């Protein structure tokens, strides 16, 4: 038989070879372990509570400042259009270090990329569960964004912030990978720039 789209060949059969069938019936957990077959580990980022939070009495078209301590500000706006149990948190850490000179700007970008590389395993599980994050260096410091289902967003934020606090040393393999990516990125940017025209 031929599948009508893509012309793929396949066979349809109502009978399974009895020897195969019997061998499948008698497979034990020990056999599966011997063949290195196992279920994936539990994804700690999968949302369990998908309920919607109550809408505020007053609707606002712009974000409302809910905290201003002098050290930090927090702004909030309810999504009143889509009705999804999702949130987005943006945190900007201000530091003059990244804007002091070009070297510091590159170090900041490098550190952000290295941290994201170190968190790839967590990022995959989080992404499968509908959570995302980004970390980037900019002229005023570092910006961290986390987004996705409310229920486990705090867990992802904790994982990222804890890694930010504890990343004192970058593995050599990570260093080489990020260095290669950044060098290619800077070279590509240099080739794409048009010369100044007076």
Question: 30-83, pLDDT tens digit by residue?
Answer: 777 777 777 888 999 999 999 887 777 777 788 888 888 877 888 888 877 788
Residue showing tokens 């957990």: 29
Tens digits of residue pLDDT in 162-195: 999 999 999 999 999 999 998 998 888 888 777 6
Name the token pair of 86: 């999702």
Global pTM value: 0.73
Round the CA-based radius of gyration of the chain to a whole number and report it: 25
């Amino acid at each position: 038989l031929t599948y009508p789209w893509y012309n793929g060949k396949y066979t349809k059969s109502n009978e399974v070879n009895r020897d195969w069938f019997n061998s499948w019936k008698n497979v034990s957990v020990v056999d599966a372990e011997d063949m290195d077959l196992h279920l994936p580990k539990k994804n700690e980022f999968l949302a369990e509570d998908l309920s919607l939070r109550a809408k505020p009495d007053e609707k606002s078209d712009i974000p409302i400042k809910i905290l201003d301590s002098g050290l930090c500000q927090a702004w909030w706006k309810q999504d009143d259009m889509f009705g999804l149990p999702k949130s987005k948190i943006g945190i900007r850490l201000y530091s003059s270090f990244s804007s002091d000179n070009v070297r510091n700007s590159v170090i900041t970008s490098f550190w952000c990329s290295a941290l994201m590389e170190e968190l790839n395993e967590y990022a995959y599980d989080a992404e499968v569960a509908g959570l995302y994050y980004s970390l980037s260096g900019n002229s005023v410091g570092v910006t961290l964004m986390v987004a996705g289902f409310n229920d486990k967003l705090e867990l992802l934020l904790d994982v990222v912030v804890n890694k930010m606090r504890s990343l004192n040393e970058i593995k050599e393999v990570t260093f080489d990978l990020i260095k290669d990516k950044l060098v290619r990125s800077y070279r590509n940017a240099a080739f794409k720039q048009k010369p100044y025209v007076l």
